[in-house]
Amino acid sequence: MENERLEIHLLLEAIYLKYGYDFRRYAATHTKRRLEHRRKMADFSNFSQMQHRVIHDTDFFETLLLDLSINVTEMFRDPWFYKRVREVVFPYLKTYPFAKIWHAGCSAGQEVYSMGIFLEEEGMGDRVQIYATDFNELILQKAKDGIYSMDLIREYTANYQKAGGRRSFSDYYTADYESVIMKRSLKEKVLFSSHNLVTDGAFGEMNVIFCRNVLIYFNRELQDRVLTLFLDSLCPGGFLCLGSKESLKFSGVAHRLEIVSEREKIYRKKRV
């Protein structure tokens, strides 16, 4: 058991030194499960063998990189969350002539387009710049493409309606047989770029930051680093929206944010 932990430690160190991606402060159990999944699939009997392959085979590393990033999300995931955003965040955004929104760890873009749709419905489409970042270039490209499979759209449509959408969800995409592509006007408002929350720095003066179901994959130390990065990137009074089970309760920065909505995990940076 101890040997295995040592091997994982060395593997993560190798990934960092060779490729610059830093998984050393990810939640250990989670990381181990993801690595183990690939180790079994690729039929290695231990992580040291896999480390050799990771170092010498870039394609294999790319596969592992996808394993290590969780990209399970939906449009209007937790519809009640979006409903609440509309109630408490939009009135604040409307007080600004121009606002900036950051989706950190945007995955394949589902939540970015969800927010884009609501901004359009609130008539704020032209007064907002949306930034969407992820560390994984492949996923980021998917987000840019804005193409989603048709069978997902049924679920997304139901979510959109529950979240209080005001039109027909089909107004926002063009469909062919198997997939849909999001409307151009929604894509044009988003600046997609590569940014790694673990190794990169603060990101502009944001009014709202969305980072949902990302922090749960970090250990407490890294979580605090990233929360501090968010605080440094928010203007005073700006909003931070986390995943519905991500509490600040166990973090070291709770005192710098006020709770706006407990269940929805909507916080606001205190004006000091």
Cβ proximity of 115 and 130 under 8 Å: yes
Q: Which is nearer to other proteins, 56 or 220 (CB)?
A: 220
Nearer to other proteins, 7 or 246 (CB): 246
**Gap between the Cα atoms of 204 and 100, Å rounded:** 9
Q: Does 255 bind other proteins (CB under 8 A)?
A: no
Should residue 217 be labelled a site residue for other proteins when binding is judged by CB under 8 A?
A: yes
The stretch among 130-138, 175-183, 193-201, 219-227 that binds other proteins (CB under 8 A) is 219-227
* CB 247, min distance to other proteins, A: 5
272 contributes a contact to other proteins by CB under 8 A: no
Task: Name the phi and psi angles at 39, rounded to 5.
Answer: -60, -40
**Phi, psi values for residue 227, rounded to 5°:** -65, -35
Q: Residue 67: which of 39, 106, 27 has the closest Cα?
A: 39
Measured between alpha carbons, how far is 24 from 8 in angstroms, rounded to an integer? 9
Region of residue 226 (phi > 0: left; psi between -120 and 50: alpha; otherwise: beta): alpha
Among positions 223, 226, 239, 240, the unique one binding other proteins when judged by CB under 8 A: 223
28 binds other proteins (CB under 8 A): yes
Q: How far is the CB of 237 from other proteins (least distance, A)?
A: 26
Stretch that binds other proteins, among 115-123, 186-194, 245-253, 254-262 (CB under 8 A): 245-253
The C-alpha torsion from 143 through 145 and 151 to 153, rounded to 10°, is: 70
State which residue, 119 or 226, has the beta carbon closest to other proteins: 226
Are the C-beta atoms of 173 and 186 separated by less than 8 Å?
A: no
Q: Does 26 bind other proteins (CB under 8 A)?
A: no
| Ramachandran sector of residue 60 (left: φ over 0; alpha: ψ -120 to 50; beta: rest) | alpha
Establish if 246 lies at the interface with other proteins (CB under 8 A): yes
Q: In the bound complex, what is the minimum distance in angstroms from residue 207's beta carbon to other proteins?
A: 26
Binding mask 170-209 for other proteins (x = CB under 8 A): ----------------------------------------
3-state secondary structure 217-233: HECHHHHHHHHHHHHHH
- The contact pattern for other proteins, residues 39-78, with x = CB under 8 A and - = no contact, is -------------------------------x-xx-----
Is 136 one of the binding residues for other proteins (CB under 8 A)?
Answer: no
228 binds other proteins (CB under 8 A): no
Residue 67: name the closest of 78, 77, 54 by CA: 54
Helix (H, G, I), strand (E, B) or coil at 189: coil
Q: Kindly list the residues in this chain that would bind other proteins in the complex (CB under 8 A).
A: 1, 27-30, 33-34, 70, 72-73, 213, 215-217, 219-220, 223, 243, 245-247, 249-251
